[in-house]
Each structure stands twice: as C-alpha cells, then as structure tokens.
Chain A
Amino acid sequence: MTGDVEHLTCKEFVEVLTDYLEDALDPAERADVERHIVICRGCSNYVEQMRSTIDLLGRMGDDAADGAHSEKLLGLFRAWRAGGAPT
C-alpha cells in the first residue's frame, strides 16, 4: 500500500471520527473518511458503535432528578431571601 488509493488506515480513522461527527474536517478529509466507511466493514461497525454509545449517553439524563435536592434548594433560597434581601 502506498497510500495512493486509500488515504486512511483504520487506526487513523478511529482518531478522526469525532472530528468527522462534529463536522470539523475539511472537505478532502471528510471525503476520505466517508470513502473509508464505505469500503471498511470494521470501521463502519465502529461508527455504528460510537453512535450507539452517544445514544446511550443521551439516555442517562433521566435518572438524575432529585426531588429532595430541589426541596433543599428552595429552603436555601427562602432562607437567603429572609436574611439577605433588602426590605
């Protein structure tokens, strides 16, 4: 392989994937990445794994709501207002 036909190795691909997904590559680099995805099954799977990972991360947000914590904050606010606000 001289690199004439294919510019990216898989090892390089996994390092530029975030720049690709974030749309931070120039058009030539972007075309390289897209060509690589088409011809490489392993990297195509890798991209899908990364998308699944991002999707899973987006599902983590639902369990952090904490009613008791919000209650405490409201108490804190009322105490602050009672003690600190000018009359």
Chain B
Amino acid sequence: MQPVAIPAGQRPGGEDERALVAALRRGDETAFVALVALYGRPLLRLARTFVRDGAVAEEVVQETWLAVLNGIDGFEGRSSLKTWIFQILSNRAKTRAVRERRSAPFSALAADDDGAAVDADRFRGEGHRWVGHWAAAPADWRHLPEDRLLSKETLARVREAIETLPPRQADVLVLRDVEGWAPDEVCDALGISDGNQRILLHRARSKVRAALEHYLLEGAPA
C-alpha cells in the first residue's frame, strides 16, 4: 500500500491536504489508512485524557473518525484538516467526560490548577538570609542507576502522574512531550494561545517532575 505523504507542519489549504481530502471524498482507503497512521494514536491519547476508561476512549475515537468521514464533504479548509479532526475529538470527548467525571475520584485532584511548580516549603522562608533559595535542594538524578530511571515502574509512575493532571494540562503535555508536536500545532489543535500553551505545559511538566522526584526518593537509601 502506497502511503500518502503529509508534512508535519501542513497548513490549511496546502496542496497535500487538498489531495488527501479529495481522496477521502472518493472513498480512498489508502488515504484513510494514512490519516489514521498519522493521527490515530494522538487522538486516542487525547481521548484518554478526557475519559479514563480505555474502551470508552476508543469509542470516542471511532465516533470522531465517523464524524470526519461524514463531514468531509462539508470540510471547507478554513482550518487545517488536523485542527478540524482534533476539534471534533475534543468536543466529543468532553461531552463523554462530563458524564464520567462525576463519579471519577480524580476530579478532586484535578481541581488543583494553580499550584506552584515546587512546594513552597522546599524553599527558605521570609526572614532567612537566603529567602527563596532551596532549603531542600533537588538531587542529582545522574547518580541514579540508569535502569532505575528508565524502568517500567518509573514509566508507570509517569503515566499515573499524567492521569491526575487537569485535562487541559494533560492535553498539552501529551501532544508536546509524548507525541512530539510543535508548539504552534498544539495551539491550533486545542484552540489556545501560545502563552496559554506554555503555562499549561509548565504546570504539567512541573507536576510530573515532582511526582517522579517523590517516587525516586522513596527508593533512595536514607
């Protein structure tokens, strides 16, 4: 099967994109397979940041693809195809999430949205000569055995940390750092400003780092 090449930084109305849209309208399976190869995984990841249940997330993704196929004739190219697809997913996933979140225990954790990157008690307080400097400085992880930092257990902790993030922070983190998207692609897909994208990324990365630090300290000799 000949894959349809789509540059990562495609823009609305680009020639490749128009060709892809035209192929989809014709019912070209190769075009659909190429699109799924490109966006299938990030769509599923994004869906999972809204709905925790993996099966429900898959359903949301399937509904999204069906909506894409059914809507492709009306797609006018005002935004990029990628942005359009991710907006469909976002809307659908949010609707499902509202239902599911009500009973999910982590909504309480997710409410903590404005926390500092590092707990305030890690720094010297007012009145100290070195106010605002580390009281309990971060350790050097380069001294950890490499297999500990890269262990399955550590990766599992990273996953847990992502799951407890507020949805918007998780979206940005997953697209940027897990999927490796460029900042402007994330802004387009989620409909947020560059500054907002950076704030969400900052909070999300800071929380994942803190969770990792907590986990890695647990196992360290006293």
Q: Which residues of A contact B (CB under 8 A)?
A: 1, 9-12, 14-15, 17-19, 22, 24, 40-43, 45-46, 48-50, 52-54, 56-61, 64-66, 69-70, 72-74, 76-78, 80-81, 84-85
Contacts and interface: CB of A to CB of B under 8 A. Distances in A.
B209 interface: yes
B44 interface: yes
A76 B118 CA distance: 46
The winner among B177, B198, B213 for most chain A CB atoms within 10 A is B177
A57 B140 CA distance: 19
A78 B27 CA distance: 9
A18 B198 contact: yes
Interface of B is mostly: helix
Contact of A60 (B44, B61, B140, B155): B155
Interface in B53-112: 58, 61-62, 65-66, 69-70
B14 to A, nearest CB: 23
Interface of B: 26-27, 29, 32-33, 36, 40-41, 44-45, 58, 61-62, 65-66, 69-70, 116-118, 120, 123, 129-134, 137-142, 149-150, 154-155, 158-159, 162, 173, 177-180, 183, 198, 201-202, 205-206, 208-209, 212-213
Contacts of A73: 36, 40, 61-62, 65
Nearest to B213: A49
A54 B66 contact: no
